Amino acid sequence: MIVRNPALYTAPEGNKAPPLWIRGLLILIGTAPTACALNRALPESQVAQFQKTSEAASKVIAAKGAGHSIIGDPRPAVTQYVAAHKIAEGTYPSLAVLVKDVGDQVQKYGSLNKAPAEAVGNTRNDMYLTSEASFS
């Protein structure tokens, strides 16, 4: 489905920056690529930066859904958005929680290479889900 906001399809005028939530998504897209989900050998030197960037992206996305919160697992709301391409009141808060969780999951083990296989599968799934939601 196409987003019907014409401002999203034109370059910013002069030195004007894109909207804050777009910048947050660009941060997420730039730091949580699908390749990372497939590569268990994320160097330890990049884990802290990955977590910090995930947290920053989470805050930007959460600001877009200010006033709404979620209770429980954020995955169903994000999955519903990816499937239906319809933003609900829980879409942004859920996506923000999931993005932060991905960074926290990577930081917990120090690298994906040190994570147990069952944890890597969950982290990969969360990365794919946040990636799909970001591009939808």
Global pTM?
A: 0.65
- DSSP-based three-state secondary structure for 92: helix
**How many angstroms separate the Cα of 51 from the Cα of each of 77, 92, 126?**
23, 19, 14
Percentage above 90 pLDDT, the chain = 7
| Contact yes or no for 74/35 (Cβ under 8 A) | no
80 pLDDT higher than 70: yes
What local confidence, expressed as pLDDT, does residue 76 receive?
Answer: 92
Closest CA to 95 of 54, 52, 42: 54
Closest CA to 42 of 133, 127, 129: 127
Q: How far apart are CA 85 and CA 106, in angstroms?
A: 28
